[in-house]
Amino acid sequence: MSNGVLVDISKCIGCRSCQTACRTWNDLPVKTSQNTNQWDVPVELDADTWTRVSCYLAGEGNERRWRFVKRQCMHCNEPACESACFTHSFLKTEEGPVIYKPTELNKDYCVGCRYCMIACPFNVPKFQYEKTFPYVQKCRFCYDRLLENERPACITACPTGALKYGDRQTLLAEARQRINSNSNYVKHIYGEKEYGGTSWMYISDVPFEQLGFKTSVSEKSIPSYTWQALKWTPYIFAGWGAMLTAMRFFTKPKEEGHNEAEMYAPVDPKE
């Protein structure tokens, strides 16, 4: 059973309890932030910030309203980070989380190439540039808690029920019921199909494009594009080998036409 989280943006009040719970449970260091005249602190995800709440003033006129969006790894059904990693340091588990083996399973395969960071369509994985022996860091979906049949720390800290954890298919059914029974909701479940589907899914009463979501994206997973290119590799190698063989076949008679003993005989200085 693959689990997921349904985020109801209309219920989030921006209290950031999820941020605090994530930092506390994962023992992430607290950083001193500077006054940027912005509500968003920190401004971006980083190696020590695995989830954050973004603030948006959406709508127009009397319909303008504040909305808050929790960001973290989306835990794709077919993760691009896993596909791009040639040391297999990432793994999509049966429970739903995409985990990083060097820290979750103490298997230090990562060589620091950071291809995972380039491949991720949501720009989530971050590198520990300041560390002597760095890792790639991101939300781990509290994998250790899931193995103990506990909910992720951020879910337990949400006071408004904006975050709901459970079986992904069950959550999808509930999301459809919510958006179809209330005309205020946008008739779309973000994460159901984007990039092949994700474990974290969102419903909202404000268009997703006004909340910083990428909306014009493919419903195919990133690894499926890779497969479209790589599936021709055997044919390319076979064709290249056949072409070299043919070239050898056509050039060989010319080589046999030379008298090699005459060509490579020592030069007589008297001549």
Give the per-residue pLDDT at 36.
Answer: 67
Mean pLDDT over residues 13-32, rounded? 93
The pLDDT, as a whole number, for residue 17 is 97
pLDDT digits (tens, 9 = 90+) for 99-137: 999 999 888 789 999 999 999 999 999 999 999 999 999
Strands (E), the chain: 3-8, 52-58, 65-71, 90-92, 98-100, 126-127, 136-137, 163-167, 200-203
Q: Which residues of 214-244 are buried (b: 16+ CB within 10 A; e: fewer)?
A: eeeeeeebbbeeeeeeeeeeeeeeeeeeeee
pLDDT for residue 256: 56
61 pLDDT higher than 90: no
> Does the structure show a pLDDT above 80 at 41?
no
Asked if residue 152 has pLDDT above 90, the reply is: yes
Q: Is the pLDDT of residue 259 over 90?
A: no
pLDDT range class, residue 202, cuts 50, 70, 90:
very high
CATH of domain 1-221: 3.30.70.20
pLDDT over threshold 70, residue 50: yes
pTM equals 0.82
Does the pLDDT at position 237 exceed 70? no
Between 30 and 145, the higher pLDDT residue: 145
The predicted pLDDT at position 210 comes to 94
Overall average pLDDT of the 263-271 stretch: 67
| pLDDT reported for residue 253 | 59
Q: Lowest-pLDDT range, 22-31, 59-68, 98-107, 261-270?
A: 261-270
Residue 116 near residue 84, CB atoms below 8 Å: yes
| Whole-number pLDDT of residue 89 | 95
CA distance linking residue 8 with residue 55, whole number of Å: 15
pLDDT mean over 33-40: 69
Residue 25 has pLDDT above 80, yes or no: yes
